[in-house]
Structure 1
Amino acid sequence: MLDDLDRRLLRQLQADPTLTAADLAERSGVSALRATRRLARLEEQGILKGRRARIDWTALGYAVAVSLRFTLEKAQANAFDAFIAAAREIPEVVEIQTFLGRVDVRLYVIARDMAHYQQLYRDRILALPHIAELEALMTVATLKNDESLPL
């Protein structure tokens, strides 16, 4: 389990993933060596999975976001795997989630504009294998997008 120092380090890292080990140590009230060892242990335990850049895709000209919910035909044994493999090949698919229940898979798709989305939809999305049902939900606004945990 996490102790107080682990939580302090993780809170600081969530707030600013660009902090060096020395900065994390200073903000957490420990030595740089101790902070470095703790971070290494958290990585070994699979709790800390590295640092990454969060890129605002709207700043790069992607103005359309659509959540697509799929129910798959399950007559073939490999239907699910074939669908996921094909969906991974579409660069504009930025997230893939699987579910238990009526909906099997959700794809989160971004596009530059509606014309780009329509082209993706006709040429790539509808060509995905084993689709039984498809529901599209256009994103109007994202009210919360925070991956931080309450540590």
Structure 2
Amino acid sequence: MLDDTDRRLLRLLQSDPTRGVPDLAEAVSSTPAKVSRRLERLRNDGILKGSRAVIDWRALGYSIAVSLRITLDKTVPRAFDDFIAAARDVAEVIEIQTFLGRVDVRLSLIAKDLADYQRLYRDNILTLPHIADIEALMTVATVKSDESLPL
């Protein structure tokens, strides 16, 4: 499906999504018109979803990251839907994942400090619907955080 030029373009964009088409064309020994067509095809095929700004939340004053593993009350028919809808409204929740198994949902959230986390936990997390069990894991260090694919 992908040829070597496609892979090279994707690697270049992973390392620097702000690179312009002329720069990409030069890097892959092609013309800007051909690179534009390739990028459009990669977008149309759903391979290249776009570029985004990655903001360092620590630079904005958040110093605490917590992962909450939540088990929901599965006797309630809409427990997942109700919980996820409410969790989306908590601004400090930066990621929501669902699982099969003992843990149903994992929330990643950030807080400015421990007092802010305590307030957030009491006022926003514990009030979420249908929680049967909750385990908080505070992040000590992020060893690897890389969304790049091995292309």
Q: Structure 2 length as normaliser, TM-score?
A: 0.98
* In structure 2, distance between residues paired with 1:8 and 1:51: 16
Aligned partners of 1:20, 1:126: CA distance in 2, in Å?
Answer: 46
User: What number of residue pairs does the alignment pair up?
Assistant: 151
In the alignment, which residue of structure 2 is the partner of 1:118? 118
* Alignment partner, residue 97 of structure 1: 97
| Matching of residues 3-42 of structure 1 within 5 Å | 3-42=3-42
| SS of the residue 1:25 aligns to | helix
What secondary structure is seen at the aligned counterpart in 2 of 1:133?
A: strand
Aligned to 1:52: 52
d(CA) in 1 for partners of 2:76, 2:11: 46
**After TM superposition, what 4+ stretches of structure 1 lie above 3 angstroms from structure 2?**
none
Distance 2:51 2:150 in 1: 18
Name the SS for the 2:68 alignment partner. strand
Deviations 1:105-124 (CA, angstroms, capped at 9, x unpaired)? 00000000011100000000
> What is the correspondence of 1:67-146 to structure 2 with a 5 Å cutoff?
67-146=67-146
Partner amino acid, structure 2, of 1:75:
T
SS of residue matched to 2:97 = strand
Identity %: 68
Structure 1 SS opposite 2:59: helix
Which runs of 5 or more residues in structure 2 are unaligned?
none
For 2:102, the aligned partner's letter is: R
CA distance in 2, matches of 1:68, 1:129: 15
CA RMSD of aligned residues (A): 0.6
Runs of 5+ consecutive residues of structure 1 not aligned to the other structure? none
Q: Counterpart of 1:105 in structure 2: which amino acid?
A: V
Q: Per-residue deviation at 1:39?
A: 0.6
TM, length-normalised to structure 1: 0.98
